Structure 1
């Protein structure tokens, strides 16, 4: 039998905010989506008073005020940094690690450690809390899907003390009967509705469906999910994720934008961020796509469009990418419209060090080395001193088009200016 573990950060965004605001530890807390739109993370206290996930913030303003709810805008720099710290802590426990999302990671342990799982779960929770301040739940299972189910029990039932194992249990069917089929990892909303209509409402009834029916109606992925619930591993740890085929960067504006200059600034800023991601995974791009759109939820004239420019030589050099992005936005911009969003997509990515070179590159070796040195310097400075320590003039300084983040907390761990002060 194999042993998988899922480590899930509890109410992760809220936990990150509470880490530097201990006085709100027992108050209801919510974190809002981009432009302070909807609730995307809630403390247990917020759940207890009836704040639903996805609640529109503008509809709940008076409710938040009456119930002394602490509100935060999304602070992705803080969340991303703390997520990396949690991952680094997990890596100190086992080399078999897959970072599944910003707040979840899978681990694998040898079968000989089966009897030690309670102490392992406690050690994981204790070390992460001590080293990062983030509370987590730990679920163990003989497959990744069962580990997901176990983590759900660890979160839901206080008597588990944050750790629960489904490994080697004789009452697995009884426990799976408590799990709604729509909560099973890998079963989406569409399949969930179809299954419930067929009378399949729990994880147990789902796993008992015939293999032929599963493969016919839910493809091989549905069959693999059922097999995993039966204890047969079908999904391996992905501890060396493949590089992305495309990289995108976009945000909705905090206010309607009409001027081309503002749109150009946003495109330059998004290209700069996408360029950072490109270099992080040691890739080059062969093309840039830029799109823009108006707000389809208002009654104003509507317009959306996109433009793509392919590059003669694959590159990760941000100034060249910005220049290409600006050409794209200028070619599709139209006056008289109120724009809601622009976005950038880097296309046709290839590995920087394992690819077939373009013959045109042979004449530009010295120039390429100079560009690489400049990018290394810029990335090093922004990593060490905080994002946008060095930035491009085309990104603008004030950036009035930026999304609304009225309740944003300081970037405590990624900005020198925001370091907590004592005294």
Structure 2
């Protein structure tokens, strides 16, 4: 179950840190890749040299390490992992997590994290029983953090006994396997989706927009999350509820959307389902433009950034799969195939949004879609289906194209 999984182990400062060295070995035996973060206190009990020798990787210890931050960074450390394990999870680390503190590398990684977290608490029984620790543990559990242990038994301190012993390495491995088994075929992948329209202001009241309900993009984000992916959904203004288990980024304009997309990278897959306005007002009026009985003022337009082409043509950090949408009213397949080549994306899903599409109520705003799936190899017509079914079919194609998750050395 741990084979080809990317694990991030945070070692806290407690005598139980010696067990974390065995935990690294157990994970490596099962084919996992292990990166290690050590707190300053942890280094009083075990050395980075020992952890690095067992993990076969660099051990990260400093938040303000210039080389490590430029190359990896505390955000990437958390987001490139399938699972984060804190062992031992000290009372101090738990308190920082519960209250959102980030004054060292370990706590900064945990605050920037969007991946599942497993805590293996280890502390003196009186510390574990303290009301403050109990409140912190309850808050972390409510936040979705998982626990293994602590166990009861003799403590390192002479004469101390009770609940507070860190779970044994094999117990922690079993808990990790249970958590990862709950994932789907996209577990460990990051899928970025855009959805909805963009609103390009003319003045504080009026705007330019495309017709889009966001239903297809939101359905794709939900399907990717059900498949186990970590999903970032960048959405323009819609009236839909947020899909469960996705990281929502709400934007208004095309420029806002591009900035949010670039901030969400790196991603394994980027799916651009949003109906981005091609143009915006060249000069946004600071006040509402009033009718005065004369001819309307001229509206000069300027081109918006091309989000799909920008990401598809990235020379560094390009998602492995870049997928676009094409809403056409005529020559649907021909226009979409030309768009795919021009934009540089891998796949295009094209749909006929004309009144002659045959979709009751129309594609825009409706619950049904009929798409042509286009790749460099050709076009494939999908039968009319609900937007949820279209999303599931697309995710199945993505799973097949990506194959098993590979470890980046």
TM-score (norm 1): 0.25
* Structure of greater relative contact order (alpha carbons < 8 Å, 6+ residues apart): 1
TM-score (norm 2): 0.25
- Name the structure with the higher helix share: 1
